[in-house]
């Protein structure tokens, strides 16, 4: 683990942010996380710490698309290197990265474009991969996401929804995988988020500065200790880091086995209706999130607490939630027993 990255398990408070990030690491199909809050509340620290915490991934060595061997062959990325599918492929294990989207980024920089230097000097058409290539299997971090241009939002939404980016430039056409953990941050005082984007991000967390005196003191002490000696501070939290990393790895392996009862599906449907959610995105987000929480808790079946936490994270609703869940359960049980 990098010595200059603050350990994820050393972060004080902000439990909902940490949990939302972990759940998206286990199951990126949740759709990412939007973190609303003031500057200086540890949002960026948490994102970078998560990338450092997660296990390394296997990639085709020196591939700008960060692909594994299967995707390298399936998307015919070998053609870019003037190779064929039978050539030996050299693999490497690399840490996950946080790929930042600059606020002033252009469409070409995000999607990818023609390599002008090679075109001018060598007279050949070559591709310059964009941010979506670098973000594949990594964390795509967008600070001040609410200030992003609408057309760039549409590009990101399409890539996030389909997991694929298509580059068509000057006679070159190629598609490559672009599956990433989307993390957006914003300060609500600087403008509202476009509704289309807000609806497509799985979890939305509002963060405020910590008010607890003891926690504030702990934050100051830990930060000072970290800055004084990164290596010693990281070693202090290494056991907790490894323990959490192993728990995430187990959850990823368990996720496909997790089941949810028909009763809980009805609870989700009725609560989202009561909440006034439009469409079906909230239902699907709660379903995915509850199963991911169950996997993280080492459950093969979603239980009441897994479901309750998922509803709180997706709908930001906790008022009388336990009572609502129990009332609907009793109603379903009474109806099916007749």
What mean pLDDT do residues 115-122 have?
56
Does residue 51 sit in the same domain as residue 141?
yes
Each residue's pLDDT tens digit, 154-210 = 888 888 878 898 887 766 778 899 999 999 888 777 777 776 666 778 898 888 778
* CATH code of the domain containing 153: 3.40.50.300
- DSSP, res 170: T
Same domain, 287 and 181: no
Domain limit, last residue, from 187, 207, 227: 207
Same domain, 43 and 121: yes
- Output the six-digit token pair for 17: 């942010």
Please tell me whether residues 95 and 203 are part of one structural domain.
yes
Whether residue 121 is contained in a domain is answered as: yes
Q: Tell which wins on pLDDT, 325 or 125.
A: 325
**CATH code for position 328:** 1.10.8.80
Say whether both 264 and 200 belong to one domain.
no
Q: Is residue 217 part of a domain?
A: no
pLDDT at 118 over 60: no
Assess whether 52 and 154 both reside in one domain.
Answer: yes
Which pTM was predicted?
0.86
Confidence (pLDDT) at 146: 83
Average of per-residue pLDDT values in the chain:
86
Last residue of a domain, one of 207, 239, 272: 207
Whether the per-residue pLDDT at 121 is higher than 70: the answer is no
| Alpha carbon of residue 292 to chain centroid | 13
203, 265: one domain = no
Residue 55 belongs to a domain: yes
Which one from 281, 316, 330, 335 is the annotated catalytic residue?
Answer: 281
At 41, the pLDDT band (50, 70, 90 cuts) reads low
CA distance 8 to 52: 8
Burial 153-188 (b: 16+ CB within 10 A, else e): bebbbebbeeeebebebeeeebebbbbbbbbbbbbe
Whether 75 is in a domain gets the answer yes
Q: Would 132 be classed as within a structural domain?
A: yes
Structurally, the chain folds into a number of domains equal to 2
In a domain, 241, yes or no: no
Q: State residue 248's pLDDT score.
A: 96
Among this protein's residues, is 194 annotated catalytic?
no
Choice between 118 and 100, residue whose per-residue pLDDT is larger:
100
C-alpha distances (whole Å) from 22 to each of 46, 56, 247 are 10, 15, 10
The confidence score (pLDDT) of residue 311 equals: 92
pLDDT for 326 equals 84
What are the two backbone dihedrals, phi and then psi, of residue 111, each rounded to the nearest 5 degrees?
-80, -40
Q: Give the pair of three-digit tokens for residue 196.
A: 């289309």
Q: Verify that 197 and 261 share a domain, yes or no.
A: no
Cα 317 from Cα 89, distance rounded (Å)? 49
- 67-71, 272-276, 317-321: segment of lowest average pLDDT: 317-321
| 159 lies in the same domain as 262 | no
Strands (E), 40-157: 57-60, 91-94, 98-100, 112-114, 127-129, 139-143
Q: Is residue 332 part of a domain?
A: yes
Same domain flag for 48 and 149: yes
Residues 199, 268, single domain; the answer is no
Q: 286 and 173 in one domain? A: no
What pLDDT is recorded for position 132? 93
Q: Give pLDDT, residue 287.
A: 96
**Residue ranges making up the domain that contains 68:** 8-207
Is the predicted pLDDT of residue 243 greater than 50, yes or no?
yes
Quick: pLDDT tens for 22-36: 999 999 989 889 888
In the chain, % of residues over pLDDT 70: 90
pLDDT of residue 40: 66
- Asked whether 64 and 72 are in contact (CB, 8 A), the reply is no
Distance CA 250, CA 245 (A): 9
What are the structure tokens assigned to 331, written together? 């109603």
Residue 1's pLDDT band (boundaries 50, 70, 90)? very low
Q: Is 338 or 288 the better-scoring residue by pLDDT?
A: 288
Domain membership flag for residue 100: yes
Of 183, 207, 231, the residue at which a domain comes to its end is: 207
């Amino acid at each position: 683990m990098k010595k200059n990255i603050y350990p994820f398990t050393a972060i004080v408070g902000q439990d909902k942010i940490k949990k939302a990030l972990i759940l998206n690491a286990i199951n990126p199909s949740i759709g990412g996380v939007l973190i609303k809050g003031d500057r200086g509340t540890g949002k960026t620290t948490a994102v970078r710490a998560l990338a450092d915490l997660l296990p390394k991934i296997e990639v085709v060595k020196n591939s700008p698309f960060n692909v594994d061997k299967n995707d390298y062959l399936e998307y015919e990325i070998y053609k870019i290197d003037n190779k064929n599918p039978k050539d030996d492929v050299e693999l490497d294990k690399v840490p996950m990265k946080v790929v930042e989207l600059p606020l002033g980024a252009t469409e070409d920089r995000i999607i990818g474009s023609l390599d002008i230097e090679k075109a001018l000097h060598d007279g050949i058409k070559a591709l310059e991969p964009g941010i979506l290539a670098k973000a594949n299997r990594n964390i795509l971090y967008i600070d001040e996401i609410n200030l992003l241009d609408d057309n760039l939002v549409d590009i990101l939404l399409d890539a996030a929804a389909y997991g694929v980016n298509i580059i068509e430039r000057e006679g070159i056409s190629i598609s490559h995988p672009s599956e990433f953990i989307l993390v957006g941050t914003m300060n609500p005082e600087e403008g509202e988020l476009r509704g289309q984007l807000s609806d497509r991000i799985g979890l939305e967390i509002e963060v405020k500065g910590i008010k607890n005196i003891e926690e504030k003191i702990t934050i100051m002490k830990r930060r000072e200790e970290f800055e004084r000696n990164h290596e010693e501070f990281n070693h202090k939290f290494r056991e907790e880091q490894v323990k959490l990393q192993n728990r995430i790895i187990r959850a990823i392996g368990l996720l496909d086995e997790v089941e949810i009862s028909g009763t809980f599906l009805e609870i989700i449907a009725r609560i989202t209706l009561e909440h006034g959610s439009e469409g079906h995105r909230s239902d699907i987000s709660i379903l995915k999130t509850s199963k991911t929480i169950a996997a993280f808790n080492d459950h093969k079946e979603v239980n009441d607490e897994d479901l309750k936490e998922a509803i709180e994270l997706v709908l930001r609703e906790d008022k009388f939630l336990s009572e609502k869940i129990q009332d609907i359960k009793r109603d379903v049980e009474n109806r099916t027993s007749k």
